[in-house]
Amino acid sequence: MKIEGQAALVTGGASGLGEATARELARLGAKVAVLDRNAELAAKVAAEISGVACVCDITDTESVNAALDKAAAAHGPARILMNVAGIGSAKRIVGKDGNPAPLEDFVRVVNINLVGGYNMARLFAARCAKLDALDNGEKGVMLFTASVAAFDGQVGQQAYSASKGGLVGMTLPMARDLAQHAIRVCTVAPGLFATPLLMELPEAVQQSLAASIPFPPRLGKPSEFAELACHIVTNGHLNGEVIRLDGALRMAPR
Ligand SMILES: NC(=O)c1ccc[n+]([C@@H]2O[C@H](COP(=O)([O-])OP(=O)(O)OC[C@H]3O[C@@H](n4cnc5c(N)ncnc54)[C@H](O)[C@@H]3O)[C@@H](O)[C@H]2O)c1
Protein backbone atom coordinates (compact mmCIF):
# COMPACT_ATOMS: atom_id res chain seq x y z
CA MET A 1 0.00 0.00 0.00
CA LYS A 2 1.28 3.41 -0.88
CA ILE A 3 1.63 5.39 2.36
CA GLU A 4 1.23 8.87 0.94
CA GLY A 5 -2.22 10.30 1.61
CA GLN A 6 -3.39 7.38 3.79
CA ALA A 7 -4.80 7.83 7.28
CA ALA A 8 -2.72 5.89 9.81
CA LEU A 9 -3.12 5.05 13.50
CA VAL A 10 -0.12 4.54 15.79
CA THR A 11 -0.68 3.24 19.32
CA GLY A 12 2.11 4.17 21.70
CA GLY A 13 2.83 6.97 19.24
CA ALA A 14 3.77 9.40 22.00
CA SER A 15 7.14 7.80 22.80
CA GLY A 16 9.97 5.55 21.65
CA LEU A 17 9.34 3.14 18.76
CA GLY A 18 5.77 4.36 18.26
CA GLU A 19 6.85 7.99 18.12
CA ALA A 20 9.53 7.18 15.53
CA THR A 21 6.93 5.29 13.49
CA ALA A 22 4.47 8.17 13.66
CA ARG A 23 7.18 10.58 12.50
CA GLU A 24 8.26 8.30 9.62
CA LEU A 25 4.68 7.80 8.44
CA ALA A 26 4.16 11.56 8.46
CA ARG A 27 7.43 12.09 6.58
CA LEU A 28 6.15 9.68 3.93
CA GLY A 29 2.94 11.66 3.56
CA ALA A 30 0.46 9.82 5.80
CA LYS A 31 -2.12 11.57 7.97
CA VAL A 32 -1.19 10.28 11.40
CA ALA A 33 -3.27 9.82 14.54
CA VAL A 34 -1.21 9.39 17.70
CA LEU A 35 -3.11 7.03 20.02
CA ASP A 36 -1.62 7.00 23.50
CA ARG A 37 -2.65 7.22 27.14
CA ASN A 38 -0.02 9.91 27.72
CA ALA A 39 -2.01 13.02 26.75
CA GLU A 40 0.83 15.52 27.05
CA LEU A 41 3.36 13.63 24.91
CA ALA A 42 0.70 12.56 22.39
CA ALA A 43 -0.27 16.20 21.87
CA LYS A 44 3.38 17.23 21.47
CA VAL A 45 4.21 14.56 18.87
CA ALA A 46 0.92 15.09 16.98
CA ALA A 47 1.54 18.85 16.80
CA GLU A 48 5.06 18.32 15.44
CA ILE A 49 3.88 16.06 12.62
CA SER A 50 0.64 17.92 11.83
CA GLY A 51 -1.29 14.90 13.05
CA VAL A 52 -4.03 14.42 15.60
CA ALA A 53 -3.65 13.26 19.20
CA CYS A 54 -6.24 10.71 20.34
CA VAL A 55 -5.85 9.94 24.02
CA CYS A 56 -6.99 6.42 24.82
CA ASP A 57 -6.27 3.26 26.73
CA ILE A 58 -5.95 0.37 24.29
CA THR A 59 -7.53 -2.02 26.81
CA ASP A 60 -10.71 0.08 27.06
CA THR A 61 -13.12 -0.46 24.16
CA GLU A 62 -15.08 2.74 24.75
CA SER A 63 -11.96 4.90 24.77
CA VAL A 64 -10.54 3.16 21.67
CA ASN A 65 -13.79 3.65 19.74
CA ALA A 66 -13.80 7.34 20.74
CA ALA A 67 -10.19 7.63 19.54
CA LEU A 68 -11.00 5.90 16.22
CA ASP A 69 -13.96 8.26 15.75
CA LYS A 70 -11.79 11.30 16.46
CA ALA A 71 -9.07 10.11 14.08
CA ALA A 72 -11.61 9.35 11.31
CA ALA A 73 -13.25 12.76 11.73
CA ALA A 74 -9.87 14.44 11.26
CA HIS A 75 -8.33 12.25 8.55
CA GLY A 76 -10.99 9.94 7.11
CA PRO A 77 -11.05 6.16 7.65
CA ALA A 78 -7.69 4.62 8.51
CA ARG A 79 -6.19 1.77 6.49
CA ILE A 80 -2.95 1.49 8.49
CA LEU A 81 -2.69 0.43 12.16
CA MET A 82 0.67 0.30 13.91
CA ASN A 83 0.19 -1.41 17.30
CA VAL A 84 3.25 -0.29 19.22
CA ALA A 85 1.95 0.54 22.73
CA GLY A 86 3.19 -1.78 25.43
CA ILE A 87 4.77 -2.04 28.86
CA GLY A 88 7.62 -4.03 30.34
CA SER A 89 7.88 -5.93 33.59
CA ALA A 90 10.32 -8.08 35.53
CA LYS A 91 9.16 -10.36 38.35
CA ARG A 92 10.50 -13.75 39.39
CA ILE A 93 7.76 -16.34 39.77
CA VAL A 94 9.09 -17.09 43.25
CA GLY A 95 10.52 -13.93 44.76
CA LYS A 96 13.79 -13.69 46.71
CA ASP A 97 11.57 -13.57 49.82
CA GLY A 98 10.10 -16.97 48.87
CA ASN A 99 6.66 -15.53 48.09
CA PRO A 100 4.83 -16.21 44.82
CA ALA A 101 4.84 -13.35 42.31
CA PRO A 102 1.69 -11.20 42.55
CA LEU A 103 -0.85 -12.49 40.03
CA GLU A 104 -2.07 -8.93 39.37
CA ASP A 105 1.27 -8.07 37.81
CA PHE A 106 1.03 -10.93 35.28
CA VAL A 107 -2.57 -10.05 34.47
CA ARG A 108 -1.76 -6.33 34.02
CA VAL A 109 1.08 -6.96 31.54
CA VAL A 110 -0.84 -9.54 29.49
CA ASN A 111 -3.90 -7.30 29.54
CA ILE A 112 -2.08 -4.28 28.09
CA ASN A 113 0.36 -5.97 25.71
CA LEU A 114 -1.78 -8.83 24.39
CA VAL A 115 -5.45 -8.14 25.13
CA GLY A 116 -4.97 -4.42 24.33
CA GLY A 117 -3.32 -5.28 21.01
CA TYR A 118 -6.15 -7.65 20.12
CA ASN A 119 -8.73 -5.05 21.16
CA MET A 120 -7.20 -2.44 18.84
CA ALA A 121 -6.91 -4.97 16.02
CA ARG A 122 -10.54 -6.13 16.17
CA LEU A 123 -11.98 -2.60 16.37
CA PHE A 124 -9.75 -1.36 13.53
CA ALA A 125 -10.37 -4.44 11.35
CA ALA A 126 -14.16 -4.22 11.60
CA ARG A 127 -14.04 -0.61 10.36
CA CYS A 128 -11.42 -1.28 7.69
CA ALA A 129 -13.31 -4.30 6.31
CA LYS A 130 -16.19 -1.98 5.37
CA LEU A 131 -13.99 0.18 3.11
CA ASP A 132 -13.64 -0.29 -0.63
CA ALA A 133 -10.46 -2.02 -1.74
CA LEU A 134 -7.67 0.10 -3.20
CA ASP A 135 -6.50 -0.41 -6.79
CA ASN A 136 -4.12 -3.20 -5.69
CA GLY A 137 -6.98 -5.08 -4.01
CA GLU A 138 -5.93 -4.22 -0.46
CA LYS A 139 -8.13 -2.65 2.19
CA GLY A 140 -5.72 -2.33 5.07
CA VAL A 141 -2.62 -3.44 6.91
CA MET A 142 -1.67 -3.73 10.55
CA LEU A 143 1.42 -4.46 12.54
CA PHE A 144 2.00 -5.74 16.07
CA THR A 145 5.09 -5.07 18.13
CA ALA A 146 6.28 -8.19 19.92
CA SER A 147 9.83 -8.60 21.24
CA VAL A 148 12.66 -11.11 21.04
CA ALA A 149 11.47 -11.96 24.57
CA ALA A 150 8.67 -13.86 22.81
CA PHE A 151 11.35 -16.41 21.88
CA ASP A 152 14.19 -16.01 24.38
CA GLY A 153 12.70 -14.41 27.45
CA GLN A 154 15.01 -13.81 30.38
CA VAL A 155 14.72 -14.54 34.08
CA GLY A 156 11.71 -12.67 35.45
CA GLN A 157 10.12 -12.15 32.04
CA GLN A 158 7.25 -14.66 32.16
CA ALA A 159 4.51 -12.05 31.91
CA TYR A 160 6.27 -9.98 29.25
CA SER A 161 7.26 -13.05 27.20
CA ALA A 162 3.78 -14.54 27.48
CA SER A 163 2.21 -11.31 26.27
CA LYS A 164 4.63 -10.94 23.35
CA GLY A 165 4.46 -14.67 22.54
CA GLY A 166 0.69 -14.24 22.37
CA LEU A 167 1.09 -11.56 19.70
CA VAL A 168 3.44 -13.84 17.75
CA GLY A 169 0.98 -16.72 18.03
CA MET A 170 -2.02 -14.77 16.81
CA THR A 171 -0.29 -13.17 13.82
CA LEU A 172 -0.90 -16.02 11.35
CA PRO A 173 -4.47 -16.89 12.38
CA MET A 174 -5.38 -13.20 12.26
CA ALA A 175 -3.85 -12.84 8.79
CA ARG A 176 -5.84 -15.92 7.71
CA ASP A 177 -9.05 -14.52 9.22
CA LEU A 178 -8.61 -11.13 7.63
CA ALA A 179 -7.57 -12.43 4.20
CA GLN A 180 -11.24 -12.41 3.18
CA HIS A 181 -11.30 -8.71 4.06
CA ALA A 182 -8.04 -7.94 2.22
CA ILE A 183 -6.27 -6.79 5.40
CA ARG A 184 -2.67 -7.91 6.00
CA VAL A 185 -1.16 -8.58 9.45
CA CYS A 186 2.52 -8.74 10.37
CA THR A 187 4.50 -8.60 13.62
CA VAL A 188 7.93 -7.15 14.33
CA ALA A 189 9.96 -8.61 17.20
CA PRO A 190 12.54 -5.97 18.16
CA GLY A 191 15.73 -6.72 20.06
CA LEU A 192 17.24 -3.91 22.14
CA PHE A 193 16.35 -0.39 21.02
CA ALA A 194 17.44 3.02 22.25
CA THR A 195 14.10 4.26 23.56
CA PRO A 196 13.45 6.22 26.78
CA LEU A 197 13.01 2.89 28.59
CA LEU A 198 16.59 1.78 27.92
CA MET A 199 18.18 5.25 27.79
CA GLU A 200 17.28 5.70 31.48
CA LEU A 201 19.59 2.80 32.42
CA PRO A 202 23.14 3.66 33.56
CA GLU A 203 25.61 4.19 30.69
CA ALA A 204 27.61 1.07 31.69
CA VAL A 205 24.49 -1.12 31.52
CA GLN A 206 23.58 0.34 28.12
CA GLN A 207 27.08 -0.43 26.85
CA SER A 208 27.01 -3.99 28.09
CA LEU A 209 23.58 -4.52 26.50
CA ALA A 210 24.87 -3.09 23.22
CA ALA A 211 27.96 -5.32 23.35
CA SER A 212 25.75 -8.40 23.54
CA ILE A 213 24.44 -7.71 20.02
CA PRO A 214 26.57 -9.59 17.40
CA PHE A 215 26.31 -6.96 14.66
CA PRO A 216 25.97 -4.07 14.71
CA PRO A 217 27.13 -3.98 18.36
CA ARG A 218 24.90 -1.07 19.33
CA LEU A 219 21.31 -0.54 20.40
CA GLY A 220 18.79 -0.41 17.56
CA LYS A 221 17.67 3.05 16.45
CA PRO A 222 13.93 3.74 16.70
CA SER A 223 14.18 5.00 13.11
CA GLU A 224 15.25 1.47 12.03
CA PHE A 225 12.10 0.04 13.59
CA ALA A 226 10.04 2.72 11.87
CA GLU A 227 11.63 1.94 8.49
CA LEU A 228 10.67 -1.73 8.78
CA ALA A 229 7.17 -0.85 9.97
CA CYS A 230 6.65 1.35 6.92
CA HIS A 231 8.17 -1.27 4.60
CA ILE A 232 5.57 -3.76 5.84
CA VAL A 233 2.91 -1.27 4.73
CA THR A 234 4.37 -0.79 1.25
CA ASN A 235 5.28 -4.44 0.52
CA GLY A 236 1.99 -6.06 -0.43
CA HIS A 237 3.25 -9.64 -0.24
CA LEU A 238 4.30 -9.51 3.44
CA ASN A 239 1.53 -11.16 5.44
CA GLY A 240 1.13 -13.46 8.45
CA GLU A 241 4.83 -13.14 9.24
CA VAL A 242 6.88 -12.33 12.36
CA ILE A 243 10.15 -10.53 11.66
CA ARG A 244 12.96 -10.32 14.23
CA LEU A 245 14.79 -6.99 14.12
CA ASP A 246 17.70 -7.59 16.46
CA GLY A 247 21.22 -7.59 14.94
CA ALA A 248 21.30 -11.41 15.43
CA LEU A 249 20.85 -11.01 19.20
CA ARG A 250 19.79 -14.08 21.19
CA MET A 251 19.12 -13.09 24.78
CA ALA A 252 21.00 -14.93 27.56
CA PRO A 253 19.05 -16.26 30.57
CA ARG A 254 19.87 -13.10 32.54
N1 LIG B 1 12.67 -0.48 23.42
C2 LIG B 1 13.00 -1.74 23.19
O3 LIG B 1 14.17 -2.13 23.24
C4 LIG B 1 11.93 -2.76 22.85
C5 LIG B 1 12.31 -4.06 22.55
C6 LIG B 1 11.36 -4.99 22.22
C7 LIG B 1 10.01 -4.65 22.19
N8 LIG B 1 9.65 -3.39 22.51
C9 LIG B 1 8.22 -3.07 22.47
O10 LIG B 1 8.02 -1.93 21.67
C11 LIG B 1 6.91 -1.17 22.15
C12 LIG B 1 7.31 0.26 22.39
O13 LIG B 1 8.34 0.29 23.35
P14 LIG B 1 9.14 1.62 23.69
O15 LIG B 1 10.48 1.20 24.15
O16 LIG B 1 8.99 2.56 22.56
O17 LIG B 1 8.32 2.09 24.99
P18 LIG B 1 7.86 3.56 25.46
O19 LIG B 1 7.55 3.40 26.91
O20 LIG B 1 8.86 4.59 25.04
O21 LIG B 1 6.50 3.80 24.65
C22 LIG B 1 5.35 3.06 24.91
C23 LIG B 1 4.14 3.97 24.75
O24 LIG B 1 2.96 3.17 24.91
C25 LIG B 1 2.03 3.92 25.65
N26 LIG B 1 1.09 3.01 26.34
C27 LIG B 1 1.39 2.08 27.27
N28 LIG B 1 0.27 1.47 27.68
C29 LIG B 1 -0.77 2.01 26.99
C30 LIG B 1 -2.17 1.79 26.97
N31 LIG B 1 -2.74 0.87 27.79
N32 LIG B 1 -2.92 2.51 26.13
C33 LIG B 1 -2.37 3.46 25.33
N34 LIG B 1 -1.04 3.71 25.31
C35 LIG B 1 -0.24 2.99 26.12
C36 LIG B 1 2.86 4.72 26.64
O37 LIG B 1 2.16 5.84 27.16
C38 LIG B 1 4.08 5.09 25.79
O39 LIG B 1 3.88 6.34 25.15
C40 LIG B 1 6.41 -1.92 23.39
O41 LIG B 1 5.33 -2.76 23.02
C42 LIG B 1 7.61 -2.73 23.82
O43 LIG B 1 7.25 -3.89 24.54
C44 LIG B 1 10.56 -2.42 22.84
CATH number, domain of 30, equals: 3.40.50.720
Query: Is residue 253 domain-resident?
Result: no
**What is the pLDDT, as a whole number, of residue 181?**
98
For residues 90-108, average pLDDT:
95
Q: Within a domain: residue 28?
A: yes
Flag whether 2 is in a domain: no
Q: What is the pLDDT of residues 185-241, one digit of tens each?
A: 999 999 999 998 788 777 887 888 899 999 999 999 999 999 999 999 999 999 999
Establish whether residue 14 lines the binding site of ligand 1, counting it when its CB lies within 6 angstroms of any ligand atom. Answer: yes
Cα 139 to ligand 1 centroid, rounded to whole Å: 27
Task: Look at ligand 1, atom 43, and give the residue with the nearest C-alpha.
Answer: 86
Q: Is residue 232 part of a domain?
A: yes
Residue 250 belongs to some domain of the structure: no
Please tell me if the CB atom of residue 51 comes closer than 6 angstroms to any atom of ligand 1: no
Q: In sequence order, what are the residues at sequence separation of 6 or more whose Cβ sits closer than 8 angstroms to the Cβ of residue 72? A: 7, 78, 127
Active site residue 118: no
User: Within a domain: residue 145?
Assistant: yes
Mean pLDDT, residues 140-162 taken together: 96
Ligand 1 atom showing the smallest separation from residue 193 Cα: 3
Residue 206 confidence (pLDDT): 82
* In a domain? residue 254: no
Strand partners of residue 33: 9, 52
Which residue segment(s) compose the domain that 150 sits in? Answer: 7-245
Rounded to the nearest integer, the mean pLDDT of the chain is 96
- What is the 135 CA–ligand 1 centroid distance (Å)? 34
Domain count, the chain: 1
Rounded mean pLDDT, 115-138:
98
Residue 83 scores a pLDDT above 90: yes
CA 230, 232, 237: angle at the middle one, nearest 5? 145
Give 120's pLDDT tier (boundaries 50, 70, 90): very high
Quote the pTM value: 0.98
pLDDT band for position 152 (50/70/90)? very high
Cβ neighbors of 55 (< 8 A, separation 6 or more) are 35, 36, 37, 38, 39, 42, 63, 67
